[in-house]
Amino acid sequence: MAKAAALLREGKLVGIPTETVYGLAANALNPEAISSIYAVKNRPSFNPLILHIANAEEAEKYALSIPKLASELMKHFWPGPLSILLPKSDLVPDLVTAGSEKVVLRVPNHPLTLRLLSEVEFPLAAPSANMSNTVSPTSASHVQQGLGEKISYILDGRSTIVGLESTIIEVIGNEIFVLRDGGITREELEKFGEVRQMKSTKQVQSPGQLSKHYSTRKPLLLVEDIEAYISMHPNKIYSVLLFEEKEINATKHLLSKDYDLAEIANNLFGKMREADEDDSEAILVEPIQEVGIGRAVADRLKRASVKN
């Protein structure tokens, strides 16, 4: 903890655990440190970063104003996988928001990172700790594999417990607009207000919202019926991502034994990596039920897949 804090104070990058995926953290008030996040990840400069803070009180420093409904959501869901887009205060460097007047704030729910956030004197800008357009990391060793050479330190907080990224929302009046589905489901948000899909406009266009993202190196194909697809392509070697136990003539990567959506979400990125490394030519997966956290899983699978 002391080493991570010291390196961050020096403007260095540190891999940090959260409940969703590992982050690549830097002092959010140090523009040079933020630039190195973009450089290390090979991240396009127009794609803004989430500002991670220690608690809801901190939000008042970095947001110019906070709608009543947004502050209710903070009270209820923080710390936790809900990120909120708000008008930014002057304290937030333009590099964090890629020039936007709005900043995304989040209080991650991980004991080590919460301690780290309360120890350092600044908030942490942190995207997922992977190279841009690759599968997000859910363990310290994933971070080591992808970025190990390029970063100073990884704070190992074990495997993440949600397994995919936070839900990003913006509150407008009594409505909650979803910019990215994630760890907090729409069903949970509906208890607080009308939930709508944010139409992607130029302003919010960013790789996390673009159609191709989170890619494996091999093609990942979303197919209606895996068995039928395999029997139509007998000369190909496939691996399959399964949501429940099934008899299938291919290398199996089981995300859950019995279609448990939370378990599927938590295993998704790790199993995508395993399938990427086995001896198959392509990865097959069927569409998932789009309810609860299944919606975020469906979103990541669609954006990891090649259109066929």
Chosen from ligand TXA, Mg ion, none, partner binding at 139 (C-beta under 5 to 8 Å by type) = none
Using CB under 6 A, which residues numbered 182 to 211 contact ligand TXA?
204, 206, 208-209
In the bound state with ligand TXA, the residue whose beta carbon lies nearer, of 206 and 267, is 206
Helices (H), 105-258: 111-119, 140-147, 186-189, 226-232
Sheet with 282-285, side-by-side order of all strands: 220-222, 282-285, 238-242, 251-254
Using CB under 6 A, which residues numbered 9 to 38 contact ligand TXA?
18, 20-21, 23
Q: How many CB atoms lie within 10 A of CB 292?
A: 15
Chosen from ligand TXA, Mg ion, none, partner binding at 126 (C-beta under 5 to 8 Å by type) = ligand TXA
The interface mask with ligand TXA, positions 61-90, x = CB under 6 A, is --------------------x-x-x-----
Tokens 């997966």 -> residue: 285
In the bound state with Mg ion, the residue whose beta carbon lies nearer, of 105 and 242, is 105
Q: Which residues are near Mg ion by CB under 5 A?
A: 128
In the bound state with Mg ion, the residue whose beta carbon lies nearer, of 97 and 128, is 128
Spatial distance between the Cα atoms of 66 and 85, rounded to a whole number of angstroms: 10
Spatial distance between the Cα atoms of 67 and 173, rounded to a whole number of angstroms: 8
**Are the CB atoms for 137 and 146 separated by under 8 Å?**
yes
DSSP symbol at 46: T
Q: How far is CA 81 from the centre of its chain?
A: 9
**Considering only residues 59, 62, 74, 97, which one is a binding residue for ligand TXA as defined by CB under 6 A?**
97
In the bound state with Mg ion, the residue whose beta carbon lies nearer, of 100 and 128, is 128
Kindly provide the residue ranges of all beta strands, DSSP E only, lying in the chain, ordered along the sequence.
14-16, 23-27, 50-52, 82-87, 102-106, 124-125, 153-154, 167-172, 175-180, 194-197, 220-222, 238-242, 251-254, 282-285
Chosen from Mg ion, ligand TXA, none, partner binding at 256 (C-beta under 5 to 8 Å by type) = none
Instruction: Name the minimum Å distance from CB 49 to ligand TXA.
Output: 6
> Helix, strand, coil: what percent of the chain each, to 5?
35, 20, 45
Under the criterion CB under 6 A, does residue 54 sit at the interface with ligand TXA?
no
Spatial distance between the Cα atoms of 108 and 79, rounded to a whole number of angstroms: 5
In the bound state with ligand TXA, the residue whose beta carbon lies nearer, of 47 and 144, is 47
**Are the CB atoms for 239 and 284 separated by under 8 Å?**
yes
Instruction: Name the minimum Å distance from CB 208 to Mg ion.
Output: 6
**Considering only residues 7, 50, 241, 264, which one is a binding residue for ligand TXA as defined by CB under 6 A?**
50
The interface mask with ligand TXA, positions 223-262, x = CB under 6 A, is ----------------------------------------
Instruction: Name the minimum Å distance from CB 23 to ligand TXA.
Output: 3
Spatial distance between the Cα atoms of 25 and 37, rounded to a whole number of angstroms: 8
Nearest to 44 by CA among 164, 209, 272: 209
Q: Indicate the residue whose CB is closest to Mg ion.
A: 128
**Considering only residues 168, 189, 283, 301, which one is a binding residue for ligand TXA as defined by CB under 6 A?**
168
Binding residues for ligand TXA (CB under 6 A): 18, 20-21, 23, 47-50, 81, 83, 85, 97, 100, 102-104, 106, 108, 126-128, 165-166, 168, 204, 206, 208-209
